[in-house]
Amino acid sequence: MKLPHAVVMMLLIIGATAFLTWIIPSGQFERLPAGPVVPGSYHSVPKERSLSVFLVPRKSTGEIAYPAGPAAAASAIPAGMVKVAALITMIFFIGGMFGVLTESGALESGVERLLTATRGNVVLVATAFMIVLAAGSSFLGLISEYLVIIPIALVVAERLGKSALFGTAMVTIAAKIGYLTSVTNPLALAVAQPIVGVPVLSGAGFRAVTFVTFLPVGIWYLLRRSRSDVLVAAPAPDRTSRLSARHVMVLSALALSVVVMLVGVQRLAWESQELAAMYIALAAAIAVVGGMSSREASQAFIKGMQGMVLAALLVGLASSVEIILRNSMILDTVIASLTRSVEGRSPVIVANLMMFIQMVIDVFIPSTSGKAAVTMPILGPIGHLAGVSGQVSVQAFLFGNGLMNTLTPTSGMLLAYLATGKVTYGEWIRFVAPLALVLLAMCSAALTIAVLIGL
C-alpha cells in the first residue's frame, strides 16, 4: 500500500498533532536562562477548551494554555517556515549551486574518471564514500552539509547501474550511523555532556568502538540489499578521455569549498546563513572557471533551486509540528510522563529505557541540541539515582537520537535528504527498517555493556 505524498503526509501529521493538543494535558518545566529545564519543576497548566479557541488562535501563557484549532495549526506552517528560514535558504542555494555544477559538465566527467579508476567496483566506491561521510558526522557533526553530497551520490549510483535509493542510502546511512556513534561530535556532546557533569568529549574510546562496529554493518546492509538493484548503467561518453582543464578547475573549486566549509563550521561557528552565502559564491566561481555565460549560469542556478522546492517545504512543515506542541504546552507533559517510567528500575533496564524515551521524544523534537537541553537535565539525575553514570546517560541519548532520526517523518533533514534523492518516505522505510532493528539491538547490547563495565 502506497503512503500519501510527502507533503500530504506532513499535513496529516500536523493535523494529528493539533488533535493531540486537545487531549493531552498542558504543563511546563521551569527553564534556566541558558535553556535547560529544571528537574522536578514540572507543573500542570490549566487548559481552556472552547469553541472560540477552536475557531480563533490563542497564545498560551504560564497561567493558561490553549489547544490548537484549525487556524492555529494552519498558522504554525508559515511560522515553521520562518523558524527554519536560514536552513531553507541554504537548501535552495545548494540546489542552485548544483544546477550550475551539473551544467558545467565537470561533475559527470569527474564521476566517470572515478569509476574508471575503480573499474566500476560498487563495493569499493560505496565503502569509501560511506567511511568518509560517517567519519565527518561522527567526528565533526556534519549532517545538513551532506545535502550537497546527495546529487553527487545520485550520479555515481546511476553510473554504477544502481537506483536513486542506493545513492540516497549511501549518504543517509553513513551520516546517520556517524551521528549515532558521535565519537567527537561537538554539536551533540558539547550540549549533553556538561549537563550531566562529565567532561566534553570524554568517553570517546567507547564511542569509537561503536563507530567501527556499527559502520561495517551499515555498509554490508546497503551492499546486500542492493544486489538485486541492478539497472542498466548510464552510457559513459568516453571513459578513457581526460578531464578538461576547465573541469579540473571546477572540481578543484568544489574540493576547496569543502575545506572552507569545514573550517567555517568548526572554527568560525558558521550556520545555515553563512553556508548559504558560501554556496552562492561557489556557484559564481564554478560559472567563471567553467566558462559559462551569465545567462547559462543564471538559468542553471534557477533550475537547480526549483529541484529543491520539495525538500525546503518539507523542512518547514516538519518545524511546524514542534511549534504546535510548544505553543499548546503539551511537549513538557509528554517528557514528564515518559521519565516517570524510568524511576525505580535496575541500571541496565534504566539505561535501555532512557534510549527508548529519547527515541519517542525525537519524534517531537528532532533537533539534537534542542533535545539534549530538554531531556538531559531530567534523565541525568534519574539515571544517577538508579546507578547509571552520566556517560551512559549521554550514550543512551546519542543512540536514541541517532536511531529515530533515521526513521521519523518529523525530521526535516531526513525528509530533505529523501526529497533531494527523489526517494519517497515509504520506499525509505521499507528499505531501512530491517537495518534500524539490527542497530537497535546493537545499541541495546552496547548500553548493557557500558553499564556492566562501569563506563
CA 51 to chain centre: 38
More reliable by pLDDT, 38 or 36: 38
- Model pLDDT for residues 400-451, shown as the tens digit of each residue: 999 998 998 888 788 889 988 888 888 899 999 999 999 999 999 999 999 9
Residue 178 pLDDT: 93
Residue 230 pLDDT: 55
- Model pLDDT for residues 41-65, shown as the tens digit of each residue: 888 999 888 888 888 888 888 789 9
Entry pTM: 0.81
- Model pLDDT for residues 234-281, shown as the tens digit of each residue: 455 444 446 788 888 988 888 888 788 878 877 887 888 888 898 899
What is the mean pLDDT of the segment spanning 348-357?
Answer: 92
pLDDT at 232 over 70: no
Residue 237 pLDDT: 46
The region of weakest confidence among 26-35, 303-312, 385-394 is 26-35
Residue 167 pLDDT: 92
- Model pLDDT for residues 63-76, shown as the tens digit of each residue: 899 999 899 999 99
pLDDT band at 185 (very low <50, low <70, confident <90, very high): confident
* Inter-residue contact 386 to 346 (CB < 8 Å): yes
Residue 67 pLDDT: 92
Mean pLDDT score of the chain: 86
More reliable by pLDDT, 29 or 32: 29
